[in-house]
Chain A
Amino acid sequence: DAGVIQSPRHEVTEMGQEVTLRCKPISGHDYLFWYRQTMMRGLELLIYFNNNVPIDDSGMPEDRFSAKMPNASFSTLKIQPSEPRDSAVYFCASSNPERYEQYFGPGTRLTVT
């Protein structure tokens, strides 16, 4: 298995632009998680899905952030408009139910100038 796939690996954009991060979970995993990692705040859970349905989005910082999972093999995290404080590494992870083992992708390093 190729593991969790994220794209792009690096994204540099200007303030005000729309940013879309993509994730392909491991086949057969029912849960998908989006995290943000910064030096100041550490690793934060933004949102997670079960069977393509958002379960908990309480970690989404504000309305500029949105996430979708149109099918079992694809999810997006969108930031519109982006701001410099959104600069971070964004991770996607997936897991099987009741195994409690999250598999992380390599992350997308986002820089907003």
Chain B
Amino acid sequence: DGGITQSPKYLFRKEGQNVTLSCEQNLNHDAMYWYRQDPGQGLRLIYYSQIVNDFQKGDIAEGYSVSREKKESFPLTVTSAQKNPTAFYLCASRAYVDQETQYFGPGTRLLVL
């Protein structure tokens, strides 16, 4: 089955700890995105990548980092510099064709201990 997988489903972070959220897609999509969703709010863009080995900051990149070493994978690291990391994180991908929709993964919920 083609799609986007995110792991883990739930993640707990201790103070001062870096944690990494996984996002994998087998849709052969060029572009990948990370969004953050807070309760009762829309999605806000953290980082995006249009091609392997290249990525750009979104609207709320501070305290986060990413890599894009493979087309299929776009992991997100939440660093200790992110002081309010508790949120629902969604990964998406898109074929590099105009007017094409984004496909979303099931999300990872990050909680701070």
Asked if chains A and B come from one complex, the reply is no
| B residues apposed to A, CB below 8 Å | none
